[in-house]
Amino acid sequence: MQAISRRLGHQSLKPAASLSSFKSIYPLSDHHYGADHPRHASSLAAKGVGHLIRKGTGGRSSVSGIVATVFGATGFLGRYVVQQLAKMGSQVLVPFRGSEDSHRHLKLMGDLGQIVPMKYNPRDENSIKAVMAKANVVINLIGRDHETRNYSFEELNHGMTEQLAMISNEHGGIMRFIQVSCLGASASSPSRMLRAKAAGEEAVLREMPEATVMKPAVMIGTEDRILNRWAHFAKKYSFLPLIGDGSTKIQPVYVVDVAAAIIAALKDDGSSMGKVYELGGPEIFTVHELADLMHDVIREWPRYVKVPFPIAKALATPRAVLINKVPFPLPAPKIFNLDEINALTIDSVVSENALTFNDLGIVPHKLKGYPIEFLISYRKGGPQFGSTISERVSPDSFP
């Protein structure tokens, strides 16, 4: 045994000889296998995200150098942003305040150890600093379209946003801050949520003038809160209420395109820093036209009940009044949400001179087709049930 040990020890002292003999047979070139080779180079620009240590070909097992804290990662847009970040080898810190299962679906999106859930308290400054401690990018997706007993529009969309910007500014190592707001957010909006979002934008740009603000229109996707609600209501009650006369113009956008715009801003040369982008889809719909499109996909006859704005507000007001006056939580509003009704009193489309997807090098998807195929699940007889649009015949034409 001692002889074997001496031989192994003697061989281990000569690694250079073995390596040199291997190189003589299979010559390796640093030019072809080094980190500086174009195949291994990252597309992330140093000006946009600073000095980063990058490694790999750019896939999920690479190292992009980005360590991003994504607030609101467990929400609708969050899952798509996390997926895009993880796909290019970024480490994503996922702050969550709910159950341990709220982030479970995100862990599969990245390589081992790349998706890091971290429990935090959004009202505790030290807790927020802890989830930002190792980050160099902060993305704020926090937002909600209705109030609860615990969080008002102003606290959620303005107060928390301002706090995140202040902590990021004090951090010193945050190279990029991306704030996701809403299209139509302004101080003069009839919607409290949109006014709070506008105040949040101003607070972010005041604390971090180099931050990037994204203002997406109403987002469409598998987990959205507009087409799914409409389809569920129409299937359950065989009609759909239209707030007003359905003539309000909106510019819905595919949620995957919004996530791609956020990643494009991170990958650029810093040209998006300090700018505001309005992200709307390539088509403008009225609410009535979008509802017609939903009915075409689920293959149901559209039956609408037009609800005038005063009546819709009257139906939605009791929840808004009682939200903080009853000793129990009220259910989330589905169709009659007072703040959404107020927002529908004006059109929500991209401004004429605004920066858009085109300025980020992205061509947004049209809604007709893949982006709304998830609605097929609402067909009562399966995917092949019902007539197609070209086969539809009005019931009035039957004898």
On the question of pLDDT at 148 being above 70, the answer is yes
Average pLDDT over residues 253-269: 95
Mean pLDDT of the chain: 85
Provide the residue count of the chain.
399
pLDDT digits (tens, 9 = 90+) for 102-111: 899 999 999 9
Separation CA 297–CA 379 (nearest Å): 8
Reported pTM: 0.83
pLDDT class for 98, splitting at 50, 70, 90? Answer: confident
Q: What is the pLDDT of residue 398?
A: 44
Q: What is the pLDDT of residue 24?
A: 41
Separation CA 137–CA 168 (nearest Å): 9
Least confident of 24-28, 352-356, 394-398: 24-28
Q: Rounded to the nearest 5°, which phi and psi values hold at 93?
A: -95, 125
Residues forming beta bridges with residue 285, ordered by sequence position: 250
**320 alpha carbon, distance to own chain's centre:** 27
Half-sphere exposure for 137 (CA within 13 Å, toward CB)? 29
Q: Which amino acid appears at position 281 of this protein?
A: G
Q: Which amino acid appears at position 324 of this protein?
A: N
Contact (Cβ atoms closer than 8 angstroms) between residue 345 and residue 243: no
Separation CA 352–CA 368 (nearest Å): 24
3-state secondary structure 193-253: HHHHHHHHHHHHHHHCCCCEEEEECCEECCCCCCHHHHHHHHHHHCCEEEECCCCCEECCE
pLDDT digits (tens, 9 = 90+) for 17-72: 443 443 343 343 343 333 344 433 434 443 445 446 567 667 788 888 899 999 99
Q: What is the pLDDT of residue 387?
A: 61
Contact (Cβ atoms closer than 8 angstroms) between residue 148 and residue 322: no
Q: What is the pLDDT of residue 64?
A: 86
Separation CA 362–CA 356 (nearest Å): 9
Separation CA 256–CA 92 (nearest Å): 18
pLDDT digits (tens, 9 = 90+) for 217-251: 999 999 999 999 999 999 999 999 999 989 999 99
Least confident of 264-278, 313-327, 352-366, 373-387: 373-387
On the question of pLDDT at 284 being above 60, the answer is yes
The dihedral over CA atoms of 70, 76, 82, 85, expressed in degrees to the nearest 10, equals -100
Of residues 369 and 177, which shows the higher confidence score? 177
Separation CA 302–CA 304 (nearest Å): 6
If one counts every other C-beta atom within 10 angstroms of the C-beta of residue 69, the result is 27
Q: What is the pLDDT of residue 62?
A: 82
296 closest CA partner among 380, 392, 214 = 392
